[in-house]
Chains A and B, each alone.
Chain A
């Protein structure tokens, strides 16, 4: 099955804001409010940053925010910090026999 579409890489300078997009279809991102975002540092387990499009689990910095418009979800990181340099993945529920789909991942570089 096709993965959700994310940019391969994004970059930003400390203090700036960046946005990572995640584009799907009306069967997944556009049709349900079950989009999640994960951060993964090299060699580490993924960490849940956002669930249900825009909700943050307890303990996650409010510098991370999520939103959705149509078939595209977005993760915004404000006040970029060096420690934010990592890979970011989106996922979505979808109406299918395989109900969870991931994006291909985006590598964030903090300049």
Chain B
């Protein structure tokens, strides 16, 4: 059973970048679809995109196109999400997730990484 462990909370200035990591264990990392989602305080879930490590072809939500980058390091079983040109509205809990039931149904989640954007 795969488990996902994310990096710790980040406090960033507007205009800067943040890189969140998600380490997978207990499964075959390269074949999983790693999706990234976020949840702003008191708000709902937003899907940000996904990457399949063995294919290395990410898909990004149109909302963040050009500001978000996903990378998967097969040698270390770690996926990364980098978000640039940060804005206060990017303040959210960022999750990585994967699935045993298809790429759109997330049954395994990381614990979340809080990213706060504030001057």
Contact = CB atoms under 8 A, between A and B. Distances in A.
Contacts of A36: 104-106
Interface in B68-119: 95, 99-102, 104-107, 109-112
A52 B47 contact: no
Interface string B48-86: 001000000001011100000000000000000000000
A97 B49 CA distance: 10
A100 B47 contact: yes
B62 A1 contact: yes
Interface of A: 1, 3, 34, 36, 38, 45-46, 48, 51-52, 55, 57, 89, 91-93, 97-105
Interface of B: 35, 44-47, 50, 59, 61-63, 95, 99-102, 104-107, 109-112
